[in-house]
Amino acid sequence: MRYYCPNCWHDLWDDDFTICPKCGYHIRNFHKKDYIDKLINALGHHAGEVKHWVIMILAQRKEKRAIPYLEKLQCNSKDPSLVKAAREAIKKISAQD
């Protein structure tokens, strides 16, 4: 089965692991992170569709903690659809209710 390190998204094909061989992250501690931290972390996933889903969820939840990460994604991404999604999410999160 294929697994990913939740910190660096390195492919792991062995199911008996505790520490990522690439970045040294202790994978078994990932469950201790809160939901929003996991979503923010997923902004670094390799797959663009995963990033789009995460951006949408963060925007719907109006997670202000995500704004700096969305700004970074907006500045660093070469994918125009991600840049637009991040920009729109920042607007939605920042908007007054």
Same domain for 65 and 18, yes or no, is no
Write out the H or E segment, with its range, that includes residue 12: strand 11-12
Tens of pLDDT, residue by residue, the chain (97 residues): 778 888 888 888 776 778 888 888 888 888 888 999 999 999 988 888 999 999 999 999 999 999 999 999 999 999 999 999 999 999 999 997 6
- Which among 46, 37, 65 has a CA at the least distance from the CA of 5? 46
Same domain for 20 and 47, yes or no, is no
Please state the domain count of the chain. 2
- Residue 83, domain CATH: 1.25.10
At 20 the pLDDT is 87
Same domain for 26 and 39, yes or no, is no
Same domain for 54 and 88, yes or no, is yes
Q: At what angle do helices 80-94 and 48-61 cross, to 10 degrees?
A: 10
Same domain for 42 and 68, yes or no, is yes
pTM of the full predicted structure? 0.82
Same domain for 49 and 13, yes or no, is no
At 95 the pLDDT is 92
Same domain for 68 and 53, yes or no, is yes
What is the Cα–Cα distance from 4 to 61, expressed in whole angstroms?
A: 25
At 42 the pLDDT is 92
At 91 the pLDDT is 97
Write out the H or E segment, with its range, that includes residue 4: strand 3-4
